[in-house]
Amino acid sequence: MKKHAAIAFALGFLVISLFLLGCKAPDGSKAQEKAAAEAAAAAAQAHPDNPFFHPYGTPFNVPPFDRIKNEHFLPAIEEGIRREQAEVDAIVSNRKKPTFENTVAALDHTGIFLSDVTAVFGALQGAHTNKELQALARQTAPMLAGHRDNIGLNDKLFARVKAIYDKRDKLELGREELFLLENTYKDFVRGGALLDEAGKARLRELNQALSLESVKFGENVLGETNAFQLVIDKKADLAGLPPSVVAMAADAAKQAGLAEGRWLFTIQVPSMTPFLTYSERRPLREKLHRAYFMKGDNDNERDNKEIAKKIAALRLEKAKLLGYADHAAFVLENNMAKTPARVNEFLAQLWRPTVVKAQEEAAALQELADRDPRAGKFKLASWDWWYYTEKLRQEKYALDDAALRPYFKLDNVRDGIFALCEKLYGLKFVEKPDLPRYHPDVQVFEVLEADGRHLGVLYMDFHPRPSKRSGAWSGGFRRAYYEQGVRVPPVSTITCNFTRPTADAPALLSTNEVETFFHEFGHSLATLFSQGRYRSRSVARDSVELPSQIMEHWAFEPELLAVYARHYRTGEAIPTELVEKLETSSLFNQGFITAEYLAACILDMAWHTAPDPAAVDARQFESEAMGKIGLIPEIVPRYRSTYFSHIFSGGYSAGYYAYIWSEVLDCDAYEAFKEKGIFDRATAESFRKNVLEPFGTEEPMAQYVRFRGSEPKIDGLLKNRGLTITK
């Protein structure tokens, strides 16, 4: 992030003041500006203790979490809706001939107050929710959906946009302006602007229903995750678990208020995965894993089967109303893949060699289980995979995850990422412990350019808790854009569920967690580097993982490991032999890793191309979809339907394939670094200028070709996954 703190603070205060006084839009009339300012002042007077109605007065204009209360959100959201509608009304009532500036740019500039409020609200819903916030989400979701429809279905507003769009070839717009215009028009059309009145009314109903069902789905997943506990009260049932895992479970039991001599495991991944990896108690492994993969499928009050069906059915009806064959066709029109047929062909191409490799791995694990003298004879099941995979890894490579963790202390990994960003881009990260935070676990950093200019602010929240949904993601409290020629710097967030510290040791990460940290940091860099002049971004879902996944390539490079992978007790660098074992084992278990992911991608596409999802039995539908591709019974899809939050309460519906589609891009892009040196500053600057800074402001392939010189080839992906595709 750039600029001196004092300048950033002054700028932030000025900007928020302008916003709260009604957001002067391009070509706005003096009377409208005055009315907006008076309305904003009246609202501020009516809510003297609500920080959303007043300049934050915080460094870098970050949200004042120490002053924000649950009861502040509803009036602020209501006011945000009112203000944005007034801003839209001002555009519509403008008597001047429609121009890019007084219509498209002005529309892009609306809703800043509402965005600021909902950014905080949404972040807390995911990272630190409670029953009050959940109730507010259910209340405000249909309000916000209705508000979006009021704008998207505004005939007069669309007429102004269309008038500009129809003569776009004569306007001599810049590349970013033309891209914004084309996507603004497309968004209106895809939002129902061409429907008749009956169609628009039905679309509003569908959007209202979808907003509520999505919230319910996410709440149920969180409730199911928090409801299960595996409490161990016999030391013998800890057999096989490393001391660090036992200590973590003891700490968890203590925090949960359990009696002394108890150990607690949950279906949060940092707790579940070590247990599945090391526990010698097969019945307990089954109990834990079954609780995980049956989330939302227990025929109780948190069951998600009917909700998943309803969401898929509502999406199908919406797609058909808008003239598409199904929801996948609607979504993919905006993606690089363009059609469901192309996605399915791509997935099938990868699935064929993947399932062969997974079958080979399953056979090797079964053979190992058969010669386990303590296990007895049994057919390998999903809850056995981690356990015997770890045993096989130790047998083949003498590599033990428990031996690696001491070298991946969380703070060291963080500092390693900082060091990488300094090598590539010259960035500096300055911790700001006094900035407001929404939870004590959160770390806050100012990000500076090499010359000391402020670039943005970064919030990082690492550990699981009952108020946080599972997984890892990157978001933001504010995205970058330009206000009267001056860049408004972003506030980016990274939220994870990493292994917690214990009484005896700091947070020591698994290699998967290390990779996840690098991944999410890549998303954050795209947020921090953004130089788009407008607030609107149009990022193809299947390119959005390029900035994140390219960062993963550096995680275990020996040159970078030498910088950050140090033993948390001794400070010694990770031994060369461990680094070599990491390299030689990099393709180990790739059949499983790729198969469980691809299975989820195929399940996503099945739901969103189904001809009548409302009529299916959800469990049977999923089983049949997996049966068609020959998913082996030892592997469960990474996400089963009833806890597939990415597609039923997130933004990845008909788009979960994006991770591996983007992997074609990131593997090819990383080859550019390997050709010149993995820390080559010129290559990094080219990647920043051509891809990260303009991300979402033009077609992604055009940006990629400017960086790489040609379109990507699939060879890097195949090499990275150890797959060989035969014609």
Q: Which of 84, 219, 446, 520 is catalytic?
A: 520
Question: Cα(86)–Cα(37) distance, rounded to whole angstroms?
Answer: 11
Residue among 682, 684, 603 nearest 644 (CA): 603
Residue among 63, 76, 1, 19 nearest 484 (CA): 19
Question: Cα(65)–Cα(59) distance, rounded to whole angstroms?
Answer: 13
Judge whether 671 counts as a catalytic residue: no
140, 502 contact by CB (below 8 A): no
Residue whose structure tokens are 């121009």: 99
Segment holding 250, helix H or strand E: helix 243-255
Question: Cα(691)–Cα(551) distance, rounded to whole angstroms?
Answer: 14
Q: Could you report how far apart the first and last alpha carbons of the chain are, in Å?
A: 48
The DSSP code sequence of 660-685 is HHHHHHHHHHHHHHHHH-TT-HHHHH
* 540 CA to centre of own chain: 14
208, 145 contact by CB (below 8 A): yes
Question: Cα(601)–Cα(311) distance, rounded to whole angstroms?
Answer: 17
Tokens of 540: 């193809």
Residue 264 β-bridge partners:
231
Residue among 60, 104, 107 nearest 430 (CA): 60
Residue 623 CB contacts under 8 Å (≥ 6 apart), including other chains: none
Question: Cα(294)–Cα(543) distance, rounded to whole angstroms?
Answer: 31
Segment holding 45, helix H or strand E: helix 30-46
Sequence letter at residue 311? I
Tokens of 592: 């499983």
Distances in Å between the Cα of 591 and the Cα atoms of 247, 272, 354, 595 are 32, 21, 5, 6
The DSSP code sequence of 64-125 is -TTT--GGGHHHHHHHHHHHHHHHHHHHHT--SPP-IIIIIIHHHTTTHHHHHHHHHHHHHH
Residue among 470, 466, 498, 512 nearest 295 (CA): 470
Segment holding 252, helix H or strand E: helix 243-255
Distances in Å between the Cα of 77 and the Cα atoms of 84, 191, 285 are 10, 22, 45
Task: Return the biggest CA–CA distance within the chain.
Answer: 85
537, 479 contact by CB (below 8 A): yes
Residue 458 β-bridge partners:
445, 492
Catalytic site positions: 520
